[in-house]
Amino acid sequence: MSVRYDGNIVPVIPVNTPSANYNVTIASSLLRTLHPRLRRLNPGKPFRPFVITSPDIWALWSKPFLASFKESPTVLFLPSGERHKRMSSVESLAQQLSTAGADRDSLLLAFGGGVIGDITGFLAAIYMRGIRYVQIPSTLLAQVDSSIGGKTGVNLLAGKNLIGSFHHPQAVFADTDLLGTLAPAQLRAGLQESIKAGIIYDAKLFRYMEQNAAAILKTKRGADTKALTHVVAASVRVKASVVSQDEKESGLRMILNFGHTIGHAIEAATNYKQLLHGEAVAWGSIAALNVALARKAITQKEADRMTQLILRYGPLPPFKATAQKLVALTARDKKNRSGVRSFVLPTAIGHTEIVRDVTEPELIAATQSMLTLMRSHTTAPVSTKKRTA
């Protein structure tokens, strides 16, 4: 679905599940019309907005964010970075909400990347046993993936996203202007989730990203973002379609975890400091492709196309970890059932299968092949500098 907005036709993509129906709107300058949009979401219902964001996002974008508000909303800050995606942050924010007088008519506005979105959604799910919230994702990764589908939660030391709930937003407003201030590495990391969407579900999107890489990767302010907006919309359509068919990840939705089993293990092995989420998923996707190749589930030609596209949207930073350590960490993955790993393997561009019989030796071999490729493909020294999303 598309609507005319500010003289242009913009995508408005519905997400329809048994428990919630809402739209994802993708356009520029959405921030400047935010308050009237919130009123339309809540006709006749009182709401008091509370913004949860990071200091760096607020410093860049507070002026357009507040442009349509007659009274400034209450703003609560959470530092950037995966290390803050913890229960302690949720408790701190909940206490601040209570002190500020938030009640069941309050509306939380998640203004930031995936960490902000996940924490705000979880907080909305549990504060006073559930209040409303809206996603306003500021990173490409959040716009194409984490803001959609109602997954919320935080990490434990034992693993990623082990505490959480399903709680859908009232709406997602993906303002493409926000992408203009993204660091190139963050843009490329987000595009890895779009590549994933093409691999698992949408061969047309995959081909578009093959043929239009230069236009998609234009990051300077004022550059023509038509190609990037096309990728965002196509990626959102994939996520919306999958979530609408399988809200609680009982079947089809598991394909969205392609690359994430080893990807999450890479993040854990590097203490969530060396790689952005999309970068870790990219290496994890290559490991999964190696499993599919070893099983002859996919042709060498198609696997090579997928690997080349993943690397084309790099550079992907190297990291230090052994295959044995990474595979051991997959035992903590929340997708495991009854101690058995569920693994998403591509069978062709746009098609996947879910298998539950991947053995530890074949996973170690596939991961080792990925590590060998990493060492041959990257010449930069392994970074120990903290990176945040």
Q: What is the DSSP letter of 359?
A: -
Are the CB atoms for 172 and 135 separated by under 8 Å?
A: yes
Q: At CA 351, angle to CA 115 and CA 314, rounded to 5?
A: 50
Share above pLDDT 70 across residues of the chain, in percent, rounded to a whole number: 91
What is the per-residue pLDDT across 134-151, written as a single tens digit (0 to 9) for each? 999 999 999 999 999 999
- What per-residue confidence (pLDDT) applies to 340? 67
Chain center to CA of 381: 27
Which member of 257, 267, 290, 302 is catalytic? 257
What is the per-residue pLDDT across 145-175, written as a single tens digit (0 to 9) for each? 999 999 999 999 888 889 999 999 999 999 9
- What per-residue confidence (pLDDT) applies to 1? 55
- What per-residue confidence (pLDDT) applies to 250? 79
Which member of 230, 253, 341, 387 is catalytic? 253
User: Is the pLDDT confidence value at 334 over 60?
Assistant: no
Alpha carbons 312 and 305: distance in angstroms, whole number: 10
Q: At CA 154, angle to CA 385 and CA 374, rounded to 5?
A: 40
User: Is the pLDDT confidence value at 121 over 70?
Assistant: yes
Q: Which residues contact 98 (CB under 8 A, 6 or more apart)?
A: none
- What per-residue confidence (pLDDT) applies to 131? 97
Which member of 84, 132, 188, 239 is catalytic? 239
Are the CB atoms for 81 and 386 separated by under 8 Å?
A: yes
Alpha carbons 177 and 271: distance in angstroms, whole number: 31
What is the per-residue pLDDT across 24-70, written as a single tens digit (0 to 9) for each? 999 999 999 999 999 999 998 889 999 999 999 999 999 999 999 99
Q: Which residues pair with 11 in a beta bridge?
A: 2
User: Is the pLDDT confidence value at 388 over 60?
Assistant: no
Tokens of 360: 């530890």
- Whole-model pTM: value is 0.88
User: Is the pLDDT confidence value at 339 over 80?
Assistant: no
Query: Is 320 one of the catalytic residues?
Result: no
Query: Is 247 one of the catalytic residues?
Result: no
Question: 233 burial class (0-12, 13-18, 19+ CB within 10 angstroms)?
Answer: buried
- What per-residue confidence (pLDDT) applies to 80? 85
What is the per-residue pLDDT across 346-385, written as a single tens digit (0 to 9) for each? 999 999 999 999 999 999 999 999 999 999 986 444 444 4
Average pLDDT over residues 176-191: 93
Which member of 264, 267, 302, 341 is catalytic? 264
Query: Is 193 one of the catalytic residues?
Result: yes
Are the CB atoms for 374 and 383 separated by under 8 Å?
A: no
Runs of H (alpha helix) within the chain: 34-41, 55-66, 87-99, 114-126, 140-141, 184-200, 203-211, 213-216, 226-245, 260-269, 277-294, 300-312, 323-329, 360-377
User: Is the pLDDT confidence value at 337 over 70?
Assistant: no
Query: Is 257 one of the catalytic residues?
Result: yes
Q: What are phi and psi of 202, to 5 degrees?
A: -135, 90
Identity at 74, one-letter amino acid code: T
Which member of 85, 188, 193, 387 is catalytic? 193
Looking at the chain, how many residues does it have?
A: 389
What is the per-residue pLDDT across 199-230, written as a single tens digit (0 to 9) for each? 999 999 999 999 999 999 986 665 678 899 99
User: Is the pLDDT confidence value at 389 over 50?
Assistant: no
- What per-residue confidence (pLDDT) applies to 5? 46
Q: Which residues pair with 2 in a beta bridge?
A: 11
User: What's the first-to-final CA gap in the chain, in angstroms?
Assistant: 30
User: Is the pLDDT confidence value at 95 over 80?
Assistant: yes
Q: How many other β-carbons are positioned within 10 Å of the β-carbon of residue 354?
A: 15
What is the per-residue pLDDT across 263-319, written as a single tens digit (0 to 9) for each? 999 999 998 889 999 999 999 999 999 999 999 999 999 999 999 999 999 999 999
Query: Is 337 one of the catalytic residues?
Result: no
